[in-house]
Amino acid sequence: MTATESKPRPRLPDWLRLPLPTTDTFTRTRSLLDNLKLHTVCESARCPNHWECWSKGTATFMIAGDRCTRACGFCAVTTAKPFALEVDEPARVAEATRRMRLKHIVITAVARDDLADGGADHFRRTVEAVRALSPKTVIEVLVPDFNDRDAAIETVLAANPDIFNHNLETVRRLTPSVRSRATYDRSLSVLRKVKACRRDSIYTKSGLMLGLGETEDEVLTALRDLRQVGCDILTLGQYLQPTLRHLPVIAFVSPETFAKLGERAWKMGFAHVASGPLVRSSYHADKFPHASQAG
């Protein structure tokens, strides 16, 4: 079945059902983000943990606009010609971080293949702005592949983020049908280069979505590939179809299977593993026990 066929989505299993927010923190967070005119991946990517994270006063900031130059089959972010970068956006992200008193911030972005550096300098300036106002905040960047350009990767690293996150997203066999323009080996190369540059001063992180038709052996191979390039932190979560135009869910992976895969990952040597149906790349990112020691 293709991503464009209009087959009804399967009913969610009980373990994927989430309660609505019960505190006014959600409303305050929404008001703050609106006031500062900021985008979050929580909304743009239709994250299932949107309510919980905002109710706790946390968010993952999405910089460089809300229009992506790629059209991945799993992602709800709009594909369109992006607008020009907003030069004051780094300062606004920094101000939001200060007001929310965040101990751990995740800064991500749409793919900006229209820019010579893929938006890398915008990442650098945002990290530096946050660091200036909130020097004790752990800063994690979740970046696109920058087409594996050394200069772009080094530009982001020049800002000294504590955690460098780039998602492999899926297994090798499914990459061409799941990811737009990205390749499996290019993503591994990005993570390898980061470790080669900053082996002792930065944690690298990556994640996969399950439920797209991958086999357990393929997942384990992907985890071994990540460890071979020095990846420290791993997230495994359930893929959920954001709209009927996106790739269908092939299987709802049970919590027991996630637990088993998580155990296998720990044994491979990852420094931290989050594996479960509701896990997303930045979900509970502040729970990484070594985050306060990063950098």
- Among 279, 254, 282, 280, which residue's Cα sits nearest to residue 15? 254
pLDDT of the residue at 21:
56
**pLDDT tens-digit readout, 17-54:** 666 555 666 666 667 777 777 666 555 445 555 555 55
What mean pLDDT comes out for the span 179-192? Answer: 97
What mean pLDDT comes out for the span 265-273? Answer: 96
Q: Domains of the chain (ranges plus CATH)?
A: 24-293 (3.20.20.70)
**pLDDT tens-digit readout, 110-148:** 999 999 999 999 999 999 999 999 999 999 999 999 999
Q: Residue 199: which pLDDT band, with cuts at 50, 70 and 90?
A: confident
User: What are the Cα distances from residue 239, in Å, to 134, 139, 206, 233, 246?
Assistant: 33, 26, 15, 19, 11
pTM of the model as a whole: 0.86
Q: With contact defined as beta carbons under 8 Å apart, do 66 and 78 qualify?
A: yes
pLDDT of the residue at 6:
41
CB within 8 Å of 34: residues ≥ 6 apart: none
pLDDT of the residue at 200:
80
